[in-house]
Amino acid sequence: MTLLQMRYFLAVCRCQNITHAATELHIAQSTLSQSMQALEDETGLNLFLRAGRTIVISQAGQQLAQKLARLLQQVDQVEGEIRDMAMRHNKVRIAIPQQQASYLLPYLLSEFQQQHPEIQLDITEPYGLEAARLVRDEKVDLAVINSDDSSLPDVHYRRLASRPICFVVWEDHPLAGRTSMTLEEAAGMPVAMLSEGFYVTRVVLRTMHQRGLTPNVRYFSPHLSTLYSLMRHHVLPAILFERSLAEMPGLVTIPFTEGLKLTGALLTKKNRQSSKDQRLVMKFILEKLSAIPSQE
């Protein structure tokens, strides 16, 4: 008994008329009649009681119809789940914290999507350590973070280029003409920084602490946009990862003489096979983050 025969049989039971059932199924009446005769022969059951053009479903036919209805419901559910799996196969879940997202998202949502419109990108912007946890828990397929910690548990770490951490001012700031500055100089100036959950802030604070310095941080913010606004309105300079400032007009980056840098990393789950779509996204990200030479 095939699935097609089962569906034909249930249509006949529903319509109780071969002609009407054939019309509903968009097949020839003779084809449906032959299929029902073959079903009776195969099962050895008298499924129909015929009276002219009217068909009455026998007791055995009613019992079979109930069983087949339950079975086909399960089949339909499995087919739906398979379709959902196929749709998810074309979805790539990415975690990109704000600093990397400010650089990567314009490329992913324009250039990559134009090249691969069939791939749906599901992007979140968590903190770096939260992004690593999402990869480990398989809630995202990959993450792009700033971290030099390659020992993250259950996570495959692929090192990307290093980029400098900079003192950032606006164009007519008194320091705008500087090509570099020391951490000691930066510690003596009022600045804004991202919240301490951000890796760049932890690196700067840790390095200054090791040197016996206490930075004059007037404001910590969880949002890059807030720091941009403070600088555009000439309120406070900031200390930020250089790549997060890509394409931001009116700002000047001043690297530290100590060579303070952040190392990017592409994270995936260990021992987990990447799909073709995921590999395409990773290849694109690797190309974009390697487009600007490593500052090492």
CA angle at residue 245 from 219 to 226, to 5 degrees? 30
3-state secondary structure the chain: CCHHHHHHHHHHHHHCCHHHHHHHHCCCHHHHHHHHHHHHHHHCCCCEEEECCEEEECHHHHHHHHHHHHHHHHHHHHHHHHHHHHHHHCEEEEECCHHHHHHHHHHHHHHHHHHCCCCEEEEECCCHHHHHHHHHCCCCCEEEEECCCCCCCCEEEEEEEEEEEEEEEECCCCCCCCCCECHHHHHCCEEEEECCCCHHHHHHHHHHHHCCCCCEEEEEECCHHHHHHHHHCCCCCEEEEHHHHCCCCCEEEEEECCCCEEEEEEEEECCCCCCHHHHHHHHHHHHHHCCCCCCC
Provide the pLDDT for residue 295: 38
CATH number of 92-289: 3.40.190.290
Residue boundaries of the structural domains of the chain: 3-88, 92-289
Provide the pLDDT for residue 85: 58
For tokens 């260990």, what's the residue?
A: 270
Per-residue pLDDT of the chain in tens (296 residues, 90 and over written 9): 888 888 889 998 988 888 888 888 888 888 888 998 999 998 898 888 876 667 788 899 899 999 999 998 888 888 766 655 555 557 899 999 888 888 899 999 999 999 999 899 999 998 777 898 999 988 999 999 988 777 778 899 998 888 899 999 999 999 999 999 999 999 999 999 999 888 899 999 999 999 999 999 999 998 888 999 999 999 999 999 887 776 678 899 999 998 899 888 999 999 888 888 999 999 999 998 874 443 33
Decide: 63 and 70 in contact? Cβ < 8 Å.
Answer: no
CA angle at residue 62 from 61 to 68, to 5 degrees? 85
**How far, in Å, CA of 30 to CA of 10, rounded?**
17
Provide the pLDDT for residue 219: 96
> Please, what is the angle between helix 29-43 and helix 18-25, to 10°?
110
pTM of the model: 0.62
CATH number of 3-88: 1.10.10.10
Provide the pLDDT for residue 294: 38
